[in-house]
Amino acid sequence: MKKYSIILVLAIASLQLNAQERLWKVNWDMNAPVGQTAEFIDNYSFRGFSIEGNWFVVDHLSLGINFSWGLFYENTGKISENIANNNAVVTGTQKRYNNFTPIMFNAKYHFGDWPVRPYIGFGFGPAWNETVKNIGLYQVYNKNWLFAIAPEVGILIPFIDNFGLNLSAKYQQGFWKDGQDLQTFTISVGFVFGDL
Amino acid sequence: MRKKNLSNGIVLLSLALITLFTGCYPHDETSVTDWDLSISIKNPDFNDYGAIQSYYLFPYVEHGDKENPSKKFDDEIIDAVQRNLSELGWSSSTNPENADVVITCSALNTDVYSYWQSYWYPAWNDYYYDYIPYYPWGVMSGISYDYTEGTVAIQMNYVGDEVNVEPGVVTQAPVIWLGLIDGLLNDTQTSISTRIKTGIDQCFNDAPYLKGE
């Protein structure tokens, strides 16, 4: 009886712990374009942020949602571009923008209860992607919702019980059938709040 | 209390980040030449550019249907086109009937006026339109801008022979090349003149096939 009582108490304590354990992250995102995104804009960007919530469903494993925004920008200077099956050449200064807003549902595995807590994760979800090319007095833009995935590795460094530092790196891939894919490598630095 | 402070902290940090990053949306210092555009278009159905040896250039600039158009840059346009045609190695003809191609220049000025409105709460636009000045963010209520856009078109028609541009269709004097330059006319006369010449040169540079290359 005593044995079962202990198990019951531990189970209830575990459930309460899981129900309470959650993490909130607010990050500064630094993005590097790769692949097709880099073909459009080949500049690093320090304009980005993300907000994320993680809820632990069992020990070490959390489910969460991440909302982020990033922006790439490049002033190409005066360049010539072939269009219309190479039957026309357009020359001018191009100002290119790529705004992207992924909304990722993710699962993360947090290793151990060490002073620092590494984690790996995988996210998927919709991503709003908008590419704009200003050339002369004209603008060419494409915008669409993409399906995106984002594998991620990171580390949490607690300062106190409920506050710490989050460092992570992830690759984001948004698939655009009729246009330019969204492909970024993102470093996030931010604060984490919650039950560390 | 601790949870409430935590939530407030997250909200404040999030708002600070959003303000910080949306506030630094990139806008370069812009010079008027950044708005200049040159476009060079060839006829994909015409492949005999290398056979062109002579041209006739109409010695005036067409000005569309605008009343009292400004003609102060006409001479620069004609001179720049003439110079580029000569550099192609083609000979100038005094009679369009004896030339392989005829070239027509035209220019168009367009006055553009726009009013861009921005409100703190987009959904309130209509209702609060008249009251915007009473709100602190009323200063954000709009930016107006106006400019004059100038476009020069250089059209080249092939008149050497009757030409098949599509299988089974005989077309006389097809357009085989079009050069377009576009930009702002809100600039000094000297600068506009230079930019027109640069734009026309660029159109020809972007069409190496006119030299048979």
The shortest CB-CB distance from B17 to any of A49, A84, A93 is to A49
Residues A91-105 have pLDDT tens digits of 999 999 999 999 999
- Does B84 lie at the interface with A, CB-CB under 8 angstroms? no
* Predicted ipTM of the assembly: 0.75
* Cβ neighbours of A191 in B, within 8 Å: 13
- Does the beta-carbon distance from B35 to A91 stay under 8 Å? no
Per the CB < 8 A criterion, the answer to whether A182 and A148 are in contact is: yes
* Cβ neighbours of B20 in A, within 8 Å: 49
Select from A74, A81, A90 the residue whose CB has the most chain B CBs within 10 Å, as the one to mutate to test that interface: A90
Residue of B nearest to A53 (CA): B10
Confidence of residue B118 (pLDDT cuts 50, 70, 90): very low
Select from A25, A26, A191 the residue whose CB has the most chain B CBs within 10 Å, as the one to mutate to test that interface: A26
* Cβ neighbours of B146 in A, within 8 Å: none
- Does B29 lie at the interface with A, CB-CB under 8 angstroms? no
SS (H, E, C) chain A: CHHHHHHHHHHHHHHHHHHHCEEEEEEEEEEEECHHHHHHCCCCECCEEEEEEEEEEECCEEEEEEEEEEEEEEEEEEEEEEECCCCEEEEEEEEEEEEEEEEEEEEEEECCCCCCEEEEEEEEEEEEEEEEEEECCEEEEEEEEEEEEEEEEEEEEEEECCEEEEEEEEEEEEECCCCCCEEEEEEEEEEEEECC
First to last CA, chain B: 78
Q: How far is B25 from chain A (nearest CA, A)?
A: 8
Residue type, A69: W
Residue of A nearest to B9 (CA): A193
- Does the beta-carbon distance from B206 to A80 stay under 8 Å? yes
CA B103 and chain centroid, separation: 20
Split chain A (196 residues) into runs of 10 and give each run's mean pLDDT: 47 44 93 95 93 93 95 94 90 93 96 87 96 87 93 95 93 88 96 87
Sequence-distant contacts of A121-124: CB under 8 A, at least 24 apart:
A121/A151, A121/A152, A121/A153, A121/A154, A121/A170, A122/A149, A122/A150, A122/A151, A122/A152, A123/A66, A123/A149, A123/A150, A123/A151, A123/A152, A123/A170, A124/A148, A124/A149, A124/A150
Q: How far apart are CA A131 and CA A73, in angstroms?
A: 10
- Does the beta-carbon distance from B42 to A28 stay under 8 Å? no
Residues in chain A: 196
The pLDDT, as a whole number, for residue B134 is 35
If you average pLDDT over residues B139-161, what whole number do you get? 73
The shortest CB-CB distance from B39 to any of A48, A88, A93 is to A88
Residues B46-86 have pLDDT tens digits of 888 999 999 999 999 998 766 777 788 999 999 999 999 99
Domains of chain A plus CATH, in order, are 18-71+101-127+148-194 (2.40.160.20)
- Please report the number of interchain residue pairs, chain A to chain B, with beta-carbon separation below 8 angstroms: 81
Nearest to B55 by CA among B18, B87, B17: B87
What's chain A's average pLDDT? 88
Per DSSP, helices labelled H in chain B are 2-23, 74-87, 125-128, 189-205
Residue that wins the pLDDT comparison between A168 and B143:
A168
Three-class SS state of B61: strand
State if pTM tops 0.90. no
